[in-house]
Amino acid sequence: DNSRFWSWEVALTASGVGAAAGVVLGPLFAWTLLRNAPLWRAIGETAFASAIGYGLSLAVGGMALPAGLYVVGNIAAPLVFPVLAALRLRHEVNKSRRLAGSST
C-alpha cells in the first residue's frame, strides 16, 4: 500500500507549514542565530536540513508510525532539523571567530 508512504495531502500540508514557518523563522534565525554566518551557508544548510528532515520523516514514518503520528512527523521534522542546523552553524561560526581572534 503506497498511499501510506506517500500522500499528496501530507506533502502539501507539510509544504504549507514549512513555507509559513520559513516566513517566521527565516528572519528570526537571520537576526539572532546566523548574523555572522555567510549568507550561502545560512540559507543552504538550513534548507538542506529541512529536506533531510522531510525525507527521513517519509522513510521512517511510512514504516513505523501510526497514521496520525506520521502526519505530525512530516510537519515537525522539517521544522526541527533547520533549527538544529542553525544552532550547529552558529556554534561553528562563533568557534571559528574565537580561533581567528586568538591568533592575532
CB 21 within 8 A of CB 57: no
Query: Does the pTM of the predicted model rise above 0.85?
Result: no
What confidence tens digit (pLDDT) does each residue in 19-66 have? 777 788 788 888 888 888 888 888 888 888 888 887 777 777 656 666
CB 78 within 8 A of CB 18: yes
Number of residues in the chain: 104
Number of Cβ within a 10 Å radius of residue 34:
23
| C-alpha cell, 16 | 504549507
Please state, for a pLDDT cut of 90, what percent of the chain lies above it.
Answer: 5
Q: Any residues with CB less than 8 A from the CB of 74 and at least 6 apart, and which?
A: 10, 11, 13, 14, 54, 57, 58, 61
